[in-house]
Structure 1
Amino acid sequence: MLVKDKFTSYRQYLFAGQKAPGTIAQRVGDLERFERSTGSDVEEATPAILLEYMADHYATWAPQYSKRIRASFRSYFQWRALTVPGAADASRDLPSVKIPKKRHRRPAPDDLVLDAFEKASMRERAILALAATMGLRRNEIATLKLMARNDRELTVVGKGQRERVLILDDITLHLLRAIEAETAPGVRFYFPGRWADSHLHPQTVYMYVKRMMPQECLHTLRHRAGTTGYTRTKDIRATQEFLGHSSLATTEVYVELDRRSTAAITEATSFANAREGGSSEPLDKLLSQATLLAGKLAQHGWSIDVIKSSIPVREEKAG
């Protein structure tokens, strides 16, 4: 039997809006904590009470948490204003919460990941590959269903029940096929739990990685996937879709910028290049590439000579 409480109608409103169960529990939990800590009925809360509640926790709440509490208030009081005759939106004037931009997080180094991969069991290798190659979160790994794979395509259900389809690389595909071949009939998950029809707990996935790589975690493996993917493609939008982020700003935190990219900006803006003629770097780079090519061709019996012509190069005039 469904146990009803003061938030039942609000829950139904959120379910009707296709909000994820975790989001609904979080919203209601935030309202219940407000009532416990203030001794006030949230239905009777005034703008001043809400503002005081958030201001009192300025020194103890992280900006991300304050932003979440504000979002819960906004959602609840907007619902009341729509459904309860005469109810005002007490959250309307709550100030927005600014989240400081984080520095780029350090991705797990390739040598550590590969060393752990070589020593791991098949299922542990699959976890490492799904995190460090495919960029999956620990919850996405723990709940990954066998039916999620269709040939090389893997459908991943992420935060907010948002789906993304990833193309598997050869190594991860091989590992998933190997797990499928060993899985007993009736099992639905790649990483089944202790009980029938259950999956591994996300915290257990986390502990597997910590055991293999004590100095790393699932997040740094995911950062490795995001950083490597962006560095080699320079496509921030594709990286966003790959990681399953709703906000491009979140993706920018996950990808570590290649310092050579910013060094190229510095070179371009240098006073040394301000005068006509600029730097000789393009020529130096071409000569370096020619030398490298000559070395590779020499291994196959070919030779190449780079000779500076005495004939002046004539510049074509426009128009």
Structure 2
Amino acid sequence: MTRDTIDSLLEADGELPLASDLRRATADWFAHLTHERGYSNATLASYERDLRQFIVFLKHDLGHPPCLNDLAGLDVKAVRRFLAARRRQGTASRSLSRAISALRTFYRWLENENLVANRALAQVAMPRIPHTVPKPLTVDKAAALVDEEGAEDDWIRARDVAVMLLLYGAGLRISEALGLARRDAPVSGRDVLRITGKGGKERLVPVLPVTQRAVERYIALCPYPLDPQSPLFVGAKGGALSPRLIQLAIARMRDELSLPETATPHALRHSFATHLLAAGADLRQIQELLGHASLSTTQVYTEVDRERILAVYDKAHPRR
């Protein structure tokens, strides 16, 4: 992402109400996240939203566009007023926690750059987030969702099947699947993908033959020329495919296939991990395939597969 793109991102939906010194610092921070930290566009967009909401709040709270000195003088009470205002708007604890994390990251960068030193955000406790576990589909439901019926002559259906097979068959995030370029298409002769995930972390992901065939079918049916540098998956008008269209495609299939409301593109990634674990795959291997930085993130799938673990325990324990 270029500096011009960063500036336009910050000015989207109207110019941010901040002083020039803070505007320069904000642009430099996004450049740091992009070029040095390798954050994805999706993460940058969420950080931008969180920072924008915080700055807009400060503008109203202070009565003037905030500057670096205002950030330096921020106290815990002001942070709590911001969180209370977001809570009144119906913001969930998970989103509030993400906002605090983003703002702490910003303040740490400001301190490292010798621009602002303030620990008010560090003194605010994170909202309590209810413990949840992934909600994968059953093997039969996942197979029905990626069924190739109708994909032989309908390029839209062929495209959607190819995307969903990358989610379920390779464990990709929707952003990773839609971020593939035509030159990187997993077709015959390329059974491994090199994926750059969150935080710029690279991983190698094997691709199943059924997925390769689905991608080849989509490419053959696609009515638009796909240049090597262009996105592999395109929309009805030839532009880059929006994740929303895959979400809607799955939503339309819920009633037809009796799928739960939790059936989403990300549920296919959860299903990939859970079904591998149930088949006996090693947790470390699943961690690598998913691109998780920490094994603790992957361990949540052991809760989903509790039934299998209990069966192994009953079989192996010496006092059974």
Q: TM-score, normalised by structure 1?
A: 0.70
The aligned residue for residue 9 of structure 1 is: 25
Distance 2:86 2:227 in 1: 49
Distance 1:125 1:266 in 2: 39
2:216 matches 1:177: yes
- Residues 68 and 260 of structure 1: CA distance in aligned 2, closer, same or farther (over 3 Å): closer
Distance 1:219 1:87 in 2: 38
The aligned residue for residue 158 of structure 1 is: 197
**2:275 aligned to which of 212, 228, 236:** 228
Q: Once the 2 structures are TM-superposed, how far is the Cα of residue 172 of structure 1 from its aligned partner?
A: 0.9
Say whether the 8 Å CA contact 1:77–1:90 is kept in structure 2: no
Q: Please list the CA deviations of residues 36-93 of structure 1 after superposition, one character each: whole Å capped at 9, or x if unmatched.
A: 3352335242233224433665685433222212212212222333335674343232
Gaps of 5+ in 2: 12-19, 152-157
Q: Once the 2 structures are TM-superposed, how far is the Cα of residue 177 of structure 1 from its aligned partner?
A: 2.9
Three-state SS of the structure 2 residue aligned to 1:119 is coil
Three-state SS of the structure 2 residue aligned to 1:69 is helix
Q: Please list the CA deviations of residues 230-269 of structure 1 after superposition, one character each: whole Å capped at 9, or x if unmatched.
A: 1223311211221222333332334621513214435666
Say whether the 8 Å CA contact 1:142–1:205 is kept in structure 2: no
Corresponding letter in the other structure for 1:129: L
Distance 1:179 1:228 in 2: 26
| Segment drifting more, 11-20 vs 231-240 | 11-20
**2:294 aligned to which of 242, 247, 250:** 247
**1:67 aligned to which of 97, 102, 111:** 97
Distance 1:81 1:133 in 2: 43
Three-state SS of the structure 1 residue aligned to 2:161 is helix
Three-state SS of the structure 1 residue aligned to 2:273 is helix
Distance 1:266 1:58 in 2: 46
Distance 1:115 1:139 in 2: 23
Corresponding letter in the other structure for 2:309: S
The aligned residue for residue 250 of structure 2 is: 209
CA RMSD of aligned residues (A): 3.2
| Segment drifting more, 130-139 vs 38-47 | 38-47
Distance 1:185 1:219 in 2: 26
Q: Please list the CA deviations of residues 13-50 of structure 1 after superposition, one character each: whole Å capped at 9, or x if unmatched.
A: 34233342443443343233123335233524223322
Q: Please list the CA deviations of residues 268-315 of structure 1 after superposition, one character each: whole Å capped at 9, or x if unmatched.
A: 66xxx6xxxx55xxxxxxxxxxxxxxxxxxxxxxxxxxxxxxxxxxxx
Q: Once the 2 structures are TM-superposed, how far is the Cα of residue 201 of structure 1 from its aligned partner?
A: 0.7
The aligned residue for residue 200 of structure 1 is: 241
Distance 1:264 1:240 in 2: 21
Distance 2:24 2:129 in 1: 32
Three-state SS of the structure 1 residue aligned to 2:246 is helix
Identity percentage of aligned residues: 22
- Residues 137 and 170 of structure 1: CA distance in aligned 2, closer, same or farther (over 3 Å): same
Distance 1:217 1:31 in 2: 28
- Residues 202 and 157 of structure 1: CA distance in aligned 2, closer, same or farther (over 3 Å): farther
Three-state SS of the structure 2 residue aligned to 1:11 is helix
- Residues 82 and 136 of structure 1: CA distance in aligned 2, closer, same or farther (over 3 Å): closer
Distance 1:81 1:221 in 2: 40
Corresponding letter in the other structure for 2:43: T
| Segment drifting more, 212-221 vs 3-12 | 3-12
The aligned residue for residue 50 of structure 1 is: 79
- Residues 185 and 111 of structure 1: CA distance in aligned 2, closer, same or farther (over 3 Å): closer
Q: TM-score, normalised by structure 2?
A: 0.70
Alignment of 1:124-135 (within 5 A): 124-135=160-171
| Segment drifting more, 118-127 vs 91-100 | 91-100
Q: Once the 2 structures are TM-superposed, how far is the Cα of residue 134 of structure 1 from its aligned partner?
A: 1.4
Corresponding letter in the other structure for 1:23: T
Larger Rg: 1
Gaps of 5+ in 1: 280-319
Say whether the 8 Å CA contact 1:74–1:92 is kept in structure 2: yes
Aligned residues: 270
